[in-house]
Structure 1
Amino acid sequence: MDLSELRIFCRVAELGSFTRAAEQLGIAKGRVSTVVQTLESKVGGRLLQRTTRSVRLTPEGELFLVRCKELLTDAEQLQGMFQLAGGEIRGRVRIDMPNLFAQEMLMPHLLALLAAHPQLDLGISTNDRRVDMVREGFDALIRLGALPDSDLVARPLGSLAMGNLASPAYLAAYGTPHTLADLAGHRLVYYANNLRNEEAALHCMVDGVPQAVPMRSALAVNNSAFMQAACLHGLGIMQGALATNRRLIESGQLVEVLPASRLPPVPVTLLLPQRRHLAPRVEMVLNWIARVIRPSMQEVPATSPVRV
C-alpha cells in the first residue's frame, strides 16, 4: 500500500463520506471506493461500515486510522526534515477549541497567518463539548479548565485570569454588589455542562479557600458565546476569562464586579494524540497559537507533556 492510498482512507474516515472525500481530494468517487476496498483486501478486514446514510469506522478501522496518521506524519517529517523552520506552511490542519477563545484570541491574528501561508488549509472547530479527536479528525484540541481522564497528551500553554462580569444595564437595574453577601439580591448566568444537575453558584476564593456562593439562576447555558451574549443583554452576572472579554470590558459593555473575589486562573491546555511526532505543519500552527496568545496568558511552571 502506498501513501496516497492511506491519505484517501484518512480523508474518508475523517469526513464520513466517500463523496465529500472525493470532492476535497479532486478525484472520482469511484477511485476513492476502489482504494478503500483495496486496502480492506490487503489488511484482511473491513475498515469502514457503509450504510445508505453514513460511513463509519469499524473497530479495526479506528486502529488502522491511528496507524495511518502515524505513517503519514513520519513521511511528512522525513520530507521536511531539511526545510527551514520558518518556511511556508502548507497542507491541512484541524484544531478544536472553545468558541470565545477562538473568536477573541485568535481571530484578530488569522488574516496575517493565512496571508503569510496561502497554501495552509486551516480548519478551526469551536466547541464547548467534548470531542473524539481520532473519530472527528482533529490534529489537536485546546481546552480551558480541568481535564477529564483520557488517553491524550497534555501540553500546558498557561492560564487565564478570571473575572465576575456584568453589563451596565444589569447593574443599573440590580445595583453593584460590593460584598459576597450582596449577591443574595442578584442573578447568575452560568456555564453548565449538564443543564439538569448543576446548581447556580458564584465560585471564588475566600482567604485562599474555594467557596461557592449560591445565587438565583437567571440562565444556565452550555455555550460560552451564548453566556456572554446573555450577560451583555443584562440577564445576570457571569464568570469568564478577562482575556476573552477584554474587548467588551475596554469598550464599557461589560464591567468587572467583586474583583477581590475572582476565581483562580483557569489553565489552558493543548491536547495531542499519542503519536511519536506531529506533522511539521501542525507543529508550526500550534507554535503560532502559543505565540499569539502568550501576551494574554499567565505563566505556568514548565513541565513535560503528560497523558491525561
Structure 2
Amino acid sequence: MDKFNAMRAFTRIVELGGFARAADSLHMPRASVTILIKQLEAQLGVQLLMRTTRQVTPTLDGQAYYHRCVNVLNELEAAESVFSSVAKDPEGVLRIDMPSGIGRLIIMPLLPEFTERYPRLDMEVGMNDRPVDLIREGYDCVIRGGQPLDHSLVARPLAQMRQVVCASPGYLQRRGTPHSLADLQHHQIIEYFSSTTNKRYGLEFVIDGQTEAPDLPKALATNSADGYLAACSAGYGLVQTPYYHVAELLRRGELIEVLGDLGQPLLPLTALYPAHRQTSRRVRVFVDWVVDVCSRPGVMDKPVMHRVS
C-alpha cells in the first residue's frame, strides 16, 4: 500500500464527502481510491468511514485519524518545499475559484505569465459569483470581494478596490446627472443580491467618516455581476461597482461615472484558503503572484474623474 496516497485519498474523501469527488480531485480512478481506503482500514484495524447511499462520513476513529493525516501531509509538503526541487518548481493540481469579472478582466489576461513561471502546475480555474465551499468542493484557494464571512479560513488581503457609481448615457439623459446625495431623490438603482445569503446591495457613500446608504427605488435586482452591468447599460438605473469592472465601459462611453466627488467605501479583495493548506507551496506562489498583480499600476487604480455636466 502507498501510505502517502492512501492518506491523501482519505483526507479528500472526508473533505469532499464522497469517493467519486475525491477520486476526481486527485485524478485517480475511483476503484483505486476504494482499494487504498480498504487497505488503510485493514492495516489500522479500524473503520475510518461510514458509507451510506447518500453520503460518506468519518467515524470517531476516522475523525481523529483525519486530523493526524492533515498534520502529517502538511509536514511532508513543507519538507519537500525545503529539500527538493519543489521549492523552486511546485507541481500538482491547483484548484482556484474567483468572481467572473476578476477572472475575465484581471487574472485570465495575465495568467500565462504565471503558468510559464510554474509549468508543472496543473491549473483548474472556476469563475462564478456564488460562494463555494472550499473543503467540500475541493478548492485550494478562492478570491472574493467584500468582507470575508468564513473566519475558519486563512484570509490574505490582495487589494482595496475603489468603487464608482455609474449609469448609461440614456438613463442620465432621461433622469439628469446627480451631483449630490440630494439629487438622488430623482433616481433609481439596480440592486445586487447574494444568491446564498439574499443580502441586498444598493449605493453606499462615506460622508464625514460615516457610511450612508440612501434608500432609493429599485428598478430591478440581480445576483449576477455581468447581469448587473448589463441592466445598467440597458438604462435601468444607477449601480455601484469596483472600478476595474467598468473601466473599459467607461472608456468607451457606454457607461458614465457620476458622484465621483463623494467618498465611497473601499471594497476588500481577499484570497481565502483552508488553514491546513497555508503551507502548500502551490497556494503560496499563486497568492503571492495575485498580490503582485493587484499592486501593479493601472490594474486596480481609478483615474481622476472627468466631471459630467
Q: TM-score range by the shorter chain?
A: 0.7 to 0.9
Q: Which residue number in structure 2 is paired with residue 44 of structure 1?
A: 46
| TM-score normalised to structure 1 length | 0.81
Q: Which residue number in structure 2 is paired with residue 261 of structure 1?
A: 262
Task: Provide the C-alpha distance between the structure 2 equivalents of 1:76 and 1:195, rounded to a whole number of angstroms.
Answer: 34
Answer whether contact 1:66 1:134 (CA < 8 A) is retained: no
Q: Which residue number in structure 1 is paired with residue 96 of structure 2?
A: 95
| Counterpart check, 1:207 vs 2:208 | yes
| TM-score normalised to structure 2 length | 0.81
Q: Which residue number in structure 2 is paired with residue 306 of structure 1?
A: none
> Deviations 1:231-288 (Å, cap 9, x if unpaired)?
2222221111112322222222222111122422112222232238421121111111
> Deviations 1:30-52 (Å, cap 9, x if unpaired)?
3221212233442723425342x
* Cα 1:254/1:200, change in 2 over 3 Å: same
Answer whether contact 1:164 1:262 (CA < 8 A) is retained: no
SS in 1 for 2:213: strand
What pairs up with 1:68-107 in 2 under 5 angstroms? 68-82=69-83, 87-107=88-108
- Mind listing any 5+ residue stretches in structure 2 that lack a counterpart? 302-309
Q: Which residue number in structure 2 is paired with residue 246 of structure 1?
A: 247
Over aligned residues, Cα RMSD in angstroms?
Answer: 3.1
Q: Which residue number in structure 2 is paired with residue 281 of structure 1?
A: 282
Answer whether contact 1:106 1:293 (CA < 8 A) is retained: no
Q: Which residue number in structure 1 is paired with residue 188 of structure 2?
A: 187
* Cα 1:149/1:91, change in 2 over 3 Å: closer
Aligned residue identity for 1:210: T
SS in 2 for 1:261: coil
| C-alpha deviation, 1:214, in angstroms | 1.2
* Cα 1:35/1:266, change in 2 over 3 Å: same
| C-alpha deviation, 1:207, in angstroms | 2.8
* Cα 1:48/1:91, change in 2 over 3 Å: farther
Task: Provide the C-alpha distance between the structure 1 equivalents of 2:283 and 2:198, rounded to a whole number of angstroms.
Answer: 38
Aligned residue identity for 2:111: L
| C-alpha deviation, 1:213, in angstroms | 0.9
* Cα 1:27/1:104, change in 2 over 3 Å: closer
* Cα 1:74/1:83, change in 2 over 3 Å: same
* Cα 1:148/1:244, change in 2 over 3 Å: same
What pairs up with 1:1-308 in 2 under 5 angstroms? 2-13=3-14, 18-19=19-20, 22=23, 27-41=28-42, 42=44, 44-47=46-49, 49-51=51-53, 55-58=55-58, 64-65=65-66, 67-82=68-83, 87-148=88-149, 150-193=151-194, 201-275=202-276, 277-295=278-296, 296-297=299-300
Task: Provide the C-alpha distance between the structure 1 equivalents of 2:242 and 2:57, rounded to a whole number of angstroms.
Answer: 38
Aligned residue identity for 1:87: K
Answer whether contact 2:162 2:267 (CA < 8 A) is retained: yes
Answer whether contact 2:206 2:212 (CA < 8 A) is retained: yes
| C-alpha deviation, 1:219, in angstroms | 1.8
Answer whether contact 1:97 1:142 (CA < 8 A) is retained: yes
Answer whether contact 2:49 2:57 (CA < 8 A) is retained: yes
- Mind listing any 5+ residue stretches in structure 1 that lack a counterpart? 299-308
